[in-house]
Structure 1
């Protein structure tokens, strides 16, 4: 970490002191500190921004900076850009370049948060970055072994390493929240094959992590949950379909189920709602979705809708003629 420490944005001292004037009702996470591991783009970026909008200081980590791109190969989204969006939303963003497969870097990250803030209230394990390795409709003996193992390292090992180092700071105070990000709920993934062996493992593992961490954290008065977006209109997904956020519906002609797509804002609002809920412990160890939480907490996507992909997708798979509007 020492080689990149000079390029990161420095914390501004204790969050409680800086934000004491902010209306806590409007910004319920004032004085709170969050770490979003994997905040470069997509769900992680949206979650980091919405936690900041609610008043939190947010440490945004990832491998793509303005000076260096990760193996994903996208240069249009960076952790510095995420930190700036957090600031614009009214929070305080701190970009820390971190490879969450390198224990020493993660240890240094947590030590820095402790030194600058003295606390950690929300940990979001959103590290992934394996889409470029994914080839669906291949049996395990047909899939490239190196790519498959890399997906497991990116989607599982990173979460384990980050949890190992960050949880001791998280549990220092009762009320800490750990969110394991994944693709699919327990109800959806449990009885279904996710079309590729390594991807299936990588996206089912965080569901089990949330359950087991819930068991381990409850004695400390802390909470662990799994959270999934629906069909996410991430920057990478929009590029894949050759559309933008403004004309995303044009992609429905290519992929009809894209009609249920949601912007990253929805899952960002879901994470912020969980973090602001004083009774979130009732959800300890459970699997949650952005669409389900939108109904429970009453928030919407940017267009005012509440897309519920994990209710829609099984019905669509049975009958492609179902109307996505009935699930929004």
Structure 2
């Protein structure tokens, strides 16, 4: 590689066949990032929703980055290990990990209490919380020697209020706390790795748009509140480039507020509103006490 040629930033975005992961991956591609796109959907029909890892990877490349599709079931630890071994073999390092994979089933929006819905909704405890731990466990050794590296958990305000049942709430609260605790370990080891969680707003994904269309009277108000799936990707890039990145280590941050900090406009030309303003909801405080 010529001395004048700067190596591309390397990222892994999990659960990127569609939705938030796809948007984040494409946004990072717009900044020239090499993005490993993971997920289970490899062909049309693998999911009830459109989107595959190959389509996302192609969109990343078209946006100006380099998309690399890697089939990965994040409930399979060996598959996750193979993913990061591939990154090590091909890149020798990792700059950004976005833990976004989550086992969200259509029935999560069904009426009724948690015991009246399918038990499989609890899969979010596995592919959602545990999967983020496993991916970070394999990713960390690839990041420890970097001048800066970033682990992001995609989360939402459901961590601090009721939203779609206890499994969803435990998922969001769990990843927020996981980011905080991982940050403690990264700091104790004197690394340059920052771990944090980002609350996204309601996203204009195929899933949410279908929900809104199913009952405009009930959900129509969301049209004025939704964020594009790409918005969080631009926020992540701005965080990664921030000279003060380390001061966010362990924090749970509201994406809309970061958009204001970095003057990031969404696709509609506006910065989304914060749930702190709209709903008086904000992240829990974590205390500095450390017990080892």
Q: What range is the shorter-chain TM-score in?
A: 0.7 to 0.9
Aligned to 1:128: 102
Q: 1:142 to 1:281 in 2, by over 3 A?
A: same
2:195 matched to 1:224? yes
Counterpart residue number, 2:72: 98
Q: In the alignment, is residue 153 of structure 1 matched against residue 126 of structure 2? A: yes
- Candidates 274, 279, 299, aligned match of 2:244: 279
**Partner Cα distance (2:5, 2:216) in 1:** 45
Q: Is the 8 A contact 2:72 2:79 kept in 1?
A: yes
- For the pair 1:73 / 2:33, whether they are aligned, the reply is no
Q: In the alignment, which residue of structure 2 is the partner of 1:47? A: 24
Alignment counterpart, residue 177 of structure 1, candidates 112, 137, 150:
150
Consecutive unaligned residues of structure 2, counting only runs of 5 or more, are 282-292
> Which ranges of structure 1 fall in alignment gaps of 5 or more residues?
1-16, 23-29, 244-249, 317-328
Q: d(CA) in 2 for partners of 1:240 and 1:193?
A: 18
SS of residue paired to 2:184: helix
In structure 2, the CA distance between the partners of 1:195 and 1:40, relative to structure 1 (3 Å rule), is closer
Write the deviation string for residues 127-171 of structure 1: whole angstroms up to 9, x where unpaired: 013142414664444443x22322221211211221121111122
Corresponding residue for 2:11? 34
TM-score, with length taken from structure 1 = 0.78
CA distance in 1, matches of 2:116, 2:218: 31
Q: C-alpha separation between the residues in 1 aligned to 2:255 and 2:166?
A: 25
Paired with 1:135 and 1:254, the residues of 2 have a C-alpha distance of 12
User: What is the deviation of 1:20?
Assistant: 5.2
Cα contact 1:120–1:169 (8 A) shared by 2: yes
Query: Residues of 2 paired with 1:123 and 1:284: CA distance?
Result: 14
Which residue number corresponds to residue 290 of structure 2? none
- Alignment length (residue pairs): 279
Residue equivalent to 1:310: 275
Per the alignment, in what secondary structure is the counterpart of residue 103 of structure 2? coil
1:182 partner SS: strand
Deviation at 1:73, TM superposition (A): 2.3
Is the 8 Å Cα contact of residues 75 and 127 (structure 2) preserved in structure 1?
yes
2:108·2:164 contact (CA, 8 Å) conserved in 1?
A: no
State the Cα RMSD in Å. Answer: 2.5
Instruction: Rate the CA distance shift 1:39–1:178 in 2: closer, same or farther, 3 A.
Output: same
User: Deviation digits for residues 189-244 of structure 1, max 9, x if unmatched?
Assistant: 33x2335111111111111011011111122121001012111111222233349x
Residues 257 and 313, structure 1, Cα contact 8 Å, conserved in 2: no
- Picking from 261, 265, 273, the partner of 1:296 is 261
Q: Indicate how the Cα distance of structure 1 residues 252 and 300 shifts in structure 2: closer, same or farther if over 3 A, else same.
A: farther
The answer to whether residue 169 in structure 2 is matched with residue 200 in structure 1 is yes
